[in-house]
A and B are shown apart, each in its own frame.
Chain A
Amino acid sequence: MEIAELNVAALRKMLDRRDISAVELTNYYLDRIAQLDPDFRAFITVSREQALRMASAADQKLATGEGATALTGIPVAVKDNICTNGVRTTCASRLLADFTPIFDATVVAKLKQVGAVLLGKTNLDEFAMGSSTKESAYGLTPNPWDRRHVSGGSSSGSAVAVATGMVPLALGSDTGGSIRQPAAFCGVWGLKPTYGRVSRYGLVPYAPSLDQIGPIGRSTEDIFLLDRCIAGYDPLDPTSLPEQAAAAGIVTGSLRGLKVGLPRELFGDSLAMGVKERVMAVARELAAAGCILTELSLPSLQYALPTYYLLAYAEASSSMARYDGVRHGKRACSGSDVAGMMTATRQELGTEVKRRILLGTYFLGKDCYDDYYVRAQQVRTWMKADFAAAFTECDLLLSPTTATPAFTIDEEALDERALALTECYTVAANLTGIPALTFPCGFLNHLPVGAQLMAPAGAEQRLFQVASHWEAATKRQTRCAQGDQKGAFYEL
């Protein structure tokens, strides 16, 4: 098997046995990026020299055994809205093309501490606002299974880099599905953690009450290992959950008696029949393992999308106010006064970012504030209670991650409804703060299909346990996508 198709445990064995050094492994992935990335633009910045320095340091850790962990010497890519000290962080925006952070995000500092090797920064929709990298100033990252289709977003580069074997692990961020949707479209695993489990310090905010950083990988165990590294209390993040215990490993053992809820609202008419079939196959597999399937209703889901639009865009208008040319980023030379300078500077933002800022500004104005924005906050309260009630009837929820596989690039450009159809499956986890994991469960017309598990806040172990069990029971093994349409996809 190619190195690119090995999971982290297999790479760990090779490194520990000294079959390969961390420097050799890093060079392997750097060469693979050089070979494949011109077709995908998954990376905005490849930090070759830093990566090789980190790999060399990892080799020293491995030689002495001191401080070596599961991720020592393992290459990782980081979404380019997560700050990396000394490595430019663009958020895929012209405004930040030359911005170089002076500090590491907490998640980056943690990866450095364990000796992981940071290969570079991955492409995304500008400021994480979008679902296809159509909005990236660095070009669109197509789907590796069929380049006529989108890879999803906004963590497109991270998902594609993992799916094509350019890197074994990557970090993304998820505000309304931006880890899970591209992971589902690209046939890889992704996790949006419980809100507050992973520090947001150093994550460029889109909607701070919804944003979370999470792992993307090619197996349940891989994303577990990355999640375990990055999670934990951080005093630098005021929303960080205190008193978090790190898990030693994925809980194994029988699933007998575990109740799996199937929300009626997420298996409706808008769901593509082929997607439904593949997710129901997952349900049958879990039932065969002893799980009890139970259909239930979450009536608050009907209002999930408008709630998300109101809250996310309002927060975005606030988050984006800092990009005004004063302290960092590009500054327009025109404008005789500071307001004129700011307005001219922000002209450089992309259309989608502008759309969300304008809507958010409007939602916080007198026309909308009480009847729409506050109402959305009330719906959020209802949604949290609705899900809490559901979790008294079941231990976790199973649903599709998206209504359809990845749509074509042209389709996404023309049809907002296609986009809304994907978002309505994912936004509820962000609104309620609960964890959600996506894993590939098959193909439909040669494009991957993702199944999503959701659990109560803090119950990530339950998600890992079930996904891991399904993976072992069905002997699923992902192969790398090679990027061309004819004959280049692999059956799971």
Chain B
Amino acid sequence: MLSLSAQQVKDLAAQALLGVTEEEIGVLSPAINQTLQSIEEIRKAPVSEGEPTVNGGEGGERLRADQVCLSCPQEAVLSNAPKQFDACFQTPLVLEE
């Protein structure tokens, strides 16, 4: 049966780039394990030979014609940027020095 320790939950949070406090870990860990218990049922489902369904509707996702179309103006796109520089989204360092 699936179960995660508090440390494993912290590791998952790091993987998901999700900041969590120790207090939140205390709340999240039992809640997560409760859900993991409830999904165990799925292993009994008689579907081992079946095809998986990935899309929500019929026909999957349709592609549009490969033509250049108008998009949002650059200034409008940057209007919600927390920080911008030279028409780019500015962030802290991506690479270590």
Residues of A within 8 A of B (CB): 99-100, 102-103, 194-196, 208-210, 235, 238-239, 241-242, 300, 302-303, 305-307, 309-310, 317, 321, 324-332, 335-347, 349, 351, 354-355, 357-359, 361-362, 367-368, 371-372, 374-382, 384, 416, 420, 433, 457
Contact residue among B28, B51, B63 (Cβ-Cβ distance under 8 Å from A355): B28
Which 10 pairs across A and B sit closest by C-beta, in order of nearness? Answer: A347-B19, A377-B52, A331-B82, A209-B56, A196-B57, A378-B47, A328-B80, A378-B50, A306-B39, A195-B57
Q: Is the CB of A379 within 8 A of B42?
A: yes
Q: Is the CB of A355 within 8 A of B57?
A: no
Q: Is the CB of A342 within 8 A of B17?
A: yes
Complex: chain B residue closest to A383, CB-CB: B53
User: Whole-angstrom distance between the alpha carbons of A171 and B54 in the complex?
Assistant: 27
Q: Is the CB of B51 within 8 A of A378?
A: yes
What are 17 pairs between A and B in contact, CB < 8 Å? A102-B72, A195-B57, A196-B58, A210-B56, A302-B45, A306-B40, A326-B89, A326-B91, A328-B80, A328-B82, A329-B80, A332-B19, A341-B91, A354-B20, A354-B28, A359-B32, A378-B48
Q: Is the CB of A378 within 8 A of B12?
A: no
Given A310-B39, A345-B19, 17 more pairs with CB closer than 8 A: A196-B56, A238-B61, A238-B62, A239-B57, A302-B45, A303-B42, A305-B38, A326-B91, A337-B93, A342-B17, A347-B18, A349-B18, A351-B28, A362-B4, A372-B43, A381-B51, A433-B57
B interface, by DSSP: helix, strand, loop or mixed?
loop
Q: Is the CB of A338 within 8 A of B47?
A: no
Assuming A361-B12, A377-B54, is B64 touching A235 (CB within 8 A)? yes
User: Whole-angstrom distance between the alpha carbons of A309 and B80 in the complex?
Assistant: 32
User: Whole-angstrom distance between the alpha carbons of A354 and B23 in the complex?
Assistant: 13
Chain A residues contacting B12 (CB-CB under 8 Å) are: 358, 361-362
User: Whole-angstrom distance between the alpha carbons of A40 and B54 in the complex?
Assistant: 39
Contact residue among B13, B18, B77, B94 (Cβ-Cβ distance under 8 Å from A102): B77
Q: Is the CB of A341 within 8 A of B92?
A: yes
Contact residue among A99, A351, A382 (Cβ-Cβ distance under 8 Å from B45): A382
Complex: chain A residue closest to B72, CB-CB: A102
Chain B residues contacting A310 (CB-CB under 8 Å) are: 39, 42
Contact residue among A102, A338, A355 (Cβ-Cβ distance under 8 Å from B91): A338
How distant is A211 from chain B, measured CB to nearest CB, in Å?
8
How distant is B2 from chain A, measured CB to nearest CB, in Å?
7
Residues of B within 8 A of A (CB): 2, 4, 9, 12-21, 24, 27-28, 31-32, 34-36, 38-48, 50-59, 61-64, 72, 76-77, 79-83, 89, 91-94, 96
Complex: chain A residue closest to B64, CB-CB: A235
Complex: chain A residue closest to B4, CB-CB: A362
A interface, by DSSP: helix, strand, loop or mixed?
helix
Interchain Cβ contacts within 8 Å, total number: 181
Assuming A349-B18, A355-B31, A362-B12, is B52 touching A380 (CB within 8 A)? yes
Chain B residues contacting A381 (CB-CB under 8 Å) are: 47, 50-53
Chain B residues contacting A306 (CB-CB under 8 Å) are: 38-42
Chain B residues contacting A309 (CB-CB under 8 Å) are: 35, 38-39
Complex: chain A residue closest to B44, CB-CB: A303
Chain A residues contacting B32 (CB-CB under 8 Å) are: 355, 358-359, 362
Chain B residues contacting A351 (CB-CB under 8 Å) are: 24, 27-28
Q: Is the CB of A375 within 8 A of B45?
A: yes
Chain B residues contacting A328 (CB-CB under 8 Å) are: 80-82
How distant is A132 from chain B, measured CB to nearest CB, in Å?
15
How distant is A348 from chain B, measured CB to nearest CB, in Å?
8
User: Whole-angstrom distance between the alpha carbons of A340 and B91 in the complex?
Assistant: 11
Assuming A328-B80, A375-B43, is B93 touching A336 (CB within 8 A)? yes
How distant is B65 from chain A, measured CB to nearest CB, in Å?
10
